[in-house]
Amino acid sequence: MQYQMNEFLFAMILTELEDAVGKENCSTRAIDKVTHSVDYYWLSRMWADRGCRMPEADIVVCPNDAEEVSKVLKIANYYKLPVTTWGAGGGTQGGAIPVAGGILLDTKRMNKIYEVNTDGMYIECGTGAIYKHIEWAANEVGKATMHYPSSLTCSTVGGFLAHRGIGVVSTKYGKIDDMVLQMEVVLPNGDIINTSPAPKHAAGPDLNQIFIGSEGTLGIITKAQIRIFDQPEERRFRGFLFQDMTGAFKASRELLQKFKPSVMRLYDEAETVSLIKKIVGVERKGAFMNVAYEGAKEMVEVEEKILLDTFKKYGAEDLGSEYGEKWWKEKITFFYPGHMMDIPQCFGTMDTIAPYGKIEEIYWAMKEAIETNFPQAKFIAHFSHWYEWGAMVYDRFIVDGKDVPKDPVEALRLHQAIWTCGVRTALAHGGVVNDHHGVGIKLGRLMKEQYGPAMQVFEGLKKTLDPNGIMNPFKLGL
Amino acid sequence: MIMSEKSKQHVDSCRFCWMCHHICPIGNATGQERNTARARALGISLVNREAIDLSEIMDNIYECCTCGACVHDCVTGWDPVMFTKETRLKAALEDKTPDYIKPLIANCLATGNAYGKTEICDRLAQSVKAHADKKDILLFLGADARFMACEQALKAIKVLEKAGVEFTVLEKEPASGVQLDFLIGAANETKAQMEECAEVLNKYKTVVLYDPNDAKAVKQLYKEYGVEVAANAVTYTSFLADLIKEGKLETKQSGRTVVFQDPYQLSRDLEETEEAREIVKAYAKLDEMLLNRAETVWAGNILMAQYMPEVIKLVAKRRIFNAKSVGANTIVTASVAEYVSLKAVAEEENSEIISIEDLILG
């Protein structure tokens, strides 16, 4: 049934939501609505910078647990109100922006740490916990989460799960989808479910992986058991300079058949002479690569020998440990205002992933496509998450402020055009829509281009679980 | 709203930066997105762009405790406290201060303290009277201790008596200006209070500042305001640490294990972290919470509890949780405000809160 919201009905719904989560956790105040309307997505930032208000939720609710989330979703389903889930707002794809209004559900009150289990090696926590807080909890018992993205301090556990995030030591320890044991999820109809008690099983498809990366379109993850690891006895760094990226790819592919370093970051020439020069101090031409390896001391000794022997074969110049250590110390500094790209520049990270044999081709094709079609854009990249079979490219475009239209709609058009060009090029050469930032509203339109008829699997799940289409509308292409 | 160029620059840097999201004691306690430096900056930036009215963000501006955790955390030196305080001043000038804040400001101007109190409790009055004679050393108790935590003020005096120190306590203390600085920032009225206070302090050779908030004001803010203090201003904790070193205060191990709650004014603003630990270690076994010294987490105050008491309870409970995470059940405080805030929820949280004076007096 279609209906038009009116003041009376709105007031009625508000009282129901207040009853569900408590009056103090339910807001229609301008500051709460504005705060939840701008996330890390460039378009939302540009919009606000131009003095425009982004689409806002009508009501912001902050539930305390799955039971309260369930109540909210039942109310939302009854009145057919959109529900957008918000973690901490650190997403770059506009996934948490309430573009259709309705209810904004902020998860941060669900931040309890229920258990630090050193037998099972996991922390059970509410998904509203800031990841850094569970890292602290792990550190208190001498462990670590080994999930260290640049947004460690400003994103929630649920946020990382929702868009399949990744951290800088992923090559050894895995992506967020490797970090989870069991999850509690509230389905759109309000039912509270638990995924399998263990993630590795043959009891049908992996329920975790249906909800991880679903960006709040299929349900709301409210609790998770997140893996923890022993702190490494030793963590060593080594910087290398390759003459070109081709040699680095060959060397890295060979290395990964032998052991898994924790950090592997290969910078293209453009990024080597810009960011790396500024922060790490390397001023040489070529492709800089930083590798970290860690664990039991004896293993680290062996790994270091293998690393040096392997990279030497491919002509890498050994720059010693200083650059790597400095990078580790400064790894988050890159993302603070003053170091990071910022308004008035127009920029974006078009990360994609592919097997060896394709990934370098994708890099060159994207670089050419962006620089040819948008001569005002600079293209830089690094390759920072590696597997035995392939790697991801973290490629960025940057347009100087003077070349960005002042008119917000025109600026939006430019941003969209660059993104479409870059991601379509990646898809045409065997890449994916995104590696670890997610899809959101930014890339939803390109999901069908990647998946083709396979998209009906996602659409079928969406129709079954969320028949009223209330969950995070217009995100993920659903 | 007309802001300084410096504040504008900081606002526009912080409005889209999430890096200190994890560190705000208020935001972590409430779970509210608006309680972050970036949300506050975003709101102010939208006011500057006339996309929202100043009055619509002022509640949030007063939800900041100005503890500076975000400033300390920022590797590039952006300062959300600076633009938050400037916004409070602008709001006052534009008559957009929230109604529940106005009486606190009026009280500060009328009585010198935000609580509007004029009389101290009888027992404290007697104790103060006993130290009315002019000595070289002045013990400056501060408004929180005098009017809201009389027992703590009495203990502060008793500890110095125990060490045989000769000192003065003023029957009528001038306002340090720190409360007004919190409420309306760098207004003329704030500076006037500071000047008046400095004039009194300068009559003494040494001023022992019991309240870390006053210590921050006198030792740091006065310089920023251009107010000169000729007296040797020292914190209560550093003064006590010296007394212990000189053997003037008897020490005895109590056998208890405690953690110490660093007041941010001492640890971050004045970079004083070890003096209190030396005192604590003279009487008990000291463990550390994960976030200690300059990384300390503010545990609440009395002034903000006047207008957001439930949030202050949440803040205090969260800090007790930090202590319990390292197995500590007893927290030692060096700030009246934090003592009162933590004590208010201690029973509910099954935790013990004691002050440094409690530890010394046994």
Residue A449 counted as domain residue: yes
Domain count, chain B: 3
Kind of pairing between the strands at A180-186 and A192-194: antiparallel
For the sheet containing A180-186, what is the strand order?
A: A113-117, A122-126, A220-227, A180-186, A192-194
Amino acid A271: pLDDT: 82
Residues 312-341 of A with CB under 8 A from B: 332-333, 335-339
Contact B46 A34 (CB under 8 A): yes
Whether residue B188 lies inside any domain: the answer is: yes
d(CA B245, CA B326): 29
- What average pLDDT does this structure show over A204-212? 97
Which of A34, A56, A135 best probes binding to B when mutated, by most B CB atoms within 10 angstroms? A34
pLDDT digits (tens, 9 = 90+) for B315-327: 999 999 999 999 9
pLDDT digits (tens, 9 = 90+) for A151-202: 999 999 999 999 999 999 999 999 999 999 999 999 999 999 999 999 999 9
- SS3 at position A222: strand
* First CA to last CA distance, chain A: 21
For residues B138 and B232, membership in a common domain is answered with yes
Work out the pLDDT band at B78, boundaries 50, 70, 90: very high
Residue A440, pLDDT > 80, answer yes
Q: Do both A24 and A102 map to the same domain?
A: yes
The verdict on residue A478 lying in a domain is no
Give the domain-ending residue among B208, B241, B274.
B241
Domain co-membership, B231 together with B132 = yes
Last residue of a domain, one of A79, A106, A133: A106
Question: What does the alpha-carbon distance between residue B232 and residue B284 come to, in Å, rounded to a whole number?
Answer: 30
Q: Which residue of B has its CA nearest to A114?
A: B325
Would A476 be classed as within a structural domain?
A: no
Q: Is residue A87 part of a domain?
A: yes
Number of separate domains in chain A: 4
Q: Which of B190, B216, B241 is the last residue of a domain?
A: B241
Closest partner residue to A339 (CB to CB) among B18, B33, B76 is B76
Q: What amino acid is encoded at A52 in this protein?
A: C
Considering the domain architecture, whether residues B224 and B272 belong to the same structural domain is answered as: no
Residue in A36, A140, A332 closest to B33 by CB: A36
For B34, B35, B38, B266, B269, the CA distances from B67, given in Å and listed in that order, are: 16, 13, 15, 11, 9
Q: Is residue A85 part of a domain?
A: yes
Which whole number is the average pLDDT over A402-407?
Answer: 98
Where b means 16+ CB within 10 Å and e means fewer, B107-144 reads bbbeebbbbeeeebeeebeebbeebeeebebbbbbbbb
Q: What tokens appear for B171 in the block?
A: 């029957």
Q: In this structure, is residue A295 part of a structural domain?
A: yes
Chain A: give the shortest CA distance to residue B88, in Å. Answer: 16
With pLDDT > 70 as the criterion, what percentage of chain A qualifies?
99
Q: Is the pLDDT of residue A281 over 80?
A: no
The CATH number that applies at residue B326 is: 3.40.50.1860
Please name which of B256, B259, B246, B263 lies closest in space to residue B283, comparing C-alpha atoms.
B256
In 10 A of CB A200, how many CB atoms?
7
Instruction: Quickly state the pLDDT bin for B330 (edges 50, 70, 90).
Output: very high
Both tokens of residue A372? 């040819």
Q: Is residue B281 domain-shared with residue B340, that is, in the same domain?
A: yes
B78 & B133 share domain = no
Domain identity same for B203 and B162: yes
User: Is residue A272 over pLDDT 90?
Assistant: no
Instruction: Assign residue A99 the CATH number of its domain.
Output: 3.30.43.10
Query: CA-to-CA distance for B200 and B196, rounded, in angstroms?
Result: 7
- Token pair listed for B159: 């500890």
- pLDDT reading at B1 higher than 80: no
Chain B residues with beta carbon closer than 8 angstroms to that of A342: 13, 16
Residues A98 and A135 in one domain: no
Report yes or no: A394 and A383 within 8 Å, Cβ to Cβ: yes
Residue B73 lies in a domain: yes
What pLDDT, in 10s, does the model give residues B81-98? 999 999 999 999 999 999
Q: What pLDDT sits at residue A279?
A: 61
**A 11-50 residues with CB < 8 A to B:** 24, 29-32, 34-36, 38, 40, 45, 48-50
Q: How far is A152 from chain B (nearest CA, A)?
A: 8
Task: Give the H/E segment covering residue A242.
Answer: strand A234-242
Q: Which of A80, A106, A132 is the last residue of a domain?
A: A106
A124-149 per-position pLDDT tens digit: 999 999 999 999 999 999 999 999 99
Contacts of B18 in chain A (CB under 8 A): 40, 88-90, 151, 153-155
Distance CA A330, CA B275 (A): 31
Are B205 and B164 contained in the same domain? yes
Q: Are A286 and A243 in contact (CB under 8 A)?
A: yes
In terms of domains, do B236 and B264 share one?
A: no
Mean pLDDT of chain B: 97
Q: Tell me, yes or no, whether A451 and A355 share the same domain.
A: yes
Amino acid letter, residue A410: E
Q: Quick check: is B112 in a domain?
A: no
Q: What is the CATH number of the domain that holds B186?
A: 3.40.50
Residue span of the structural domain in which A239 resides: 234-335
Identify whether residues B174 and B221 lie together within a single domain. yes
| Distance spanning both ends of chain B, measured CA to CA | 54
d(CA A177, CA A438): 13
- Residue A164 placed within a domain: yes
Closest by alpha carbon to B290, among A121, A144, A141? A141
Boundary residue ending a domain (B193, B220, B241): B241
Query: What pLDDT, on a 0 to 100 scale, did the predictor assign at position A276?
Result: 65
Q: Which of A35, A42, A115, A153 to mutate to test the interface with B (most CBs of B within 10 A)?
A: A35
C-alpha B209 chain-centroid distance: 12
A338 contacts on B by Cβ (under 8 Å): 13, 76
Q: What percent of chain B has pLDDT over 90?
A: 99
The reply to whether A455 and A353 lie within a common domain is yes
B326:A128 CB<8 A: no
Arithmetic mean of pLDDT, B19-23: 96
Q: Taking CB atoms and an 8 Å cutoff, what residues of chain A touch B289?
A: none
| Tens of pLDDT, residues B112-139 | 999 999 999 999 999 999 999 999 999 9
CATH number of the domain enclosing A422: 3.30.300.330
What is residue A430's DSSP assignment? T
- Predicted local distance difference test score (pLDDT) of residue A284: 79
Which residues face B355 on adjacent strands? Answer: B333
Which of A281, A313, A335 is where one domain is finished? Answer: A335
Contact map slice: A 90-119 vs B, CB within 8 A: 90, 106, 108-111
Q: Is residue A450 part of a domain?
A: yes
Asked if B327 reaches chain A (Cβ–Cβ under 8 Å), the answer is: no
User: Cα A239 to chain center, whole Å?
Assistant: 26
Check whether residue B28 and residue B9 sit in a common domain.
yes
Mean pLDDT value of segment A283-311: 95
Per the structure, the complete domain to which residue B49 belongs is given by 5-93
Nearest CA in chain B to A338: B76
The DSSP bridge partners found for residue A391 are A354, A386
Mean pLDDT, rounded, for A57-61 = 98
pLDDT, residue A347, reads 98
pLDDT value at position A275? Answer: 61
Q: What is the identity of the amino acid at A108?
A: K
> Are residue A174 and residue A282 in the same domain, yes or no?
no
Tell me if A51 and B20 make a contact (CB, 8 A cut-off): no
* pLDDT for A470 beyond 70: yes
Judge: A338–B32 Cβ closer than 8 Å, yes or no: no
pLDDT class for A324, splitting at 50, 70, 90? Answer: confident
Position of tokens 């600085």? Answer: B181
Separation of alpha carbons A162 and A208, rounded Å: 11
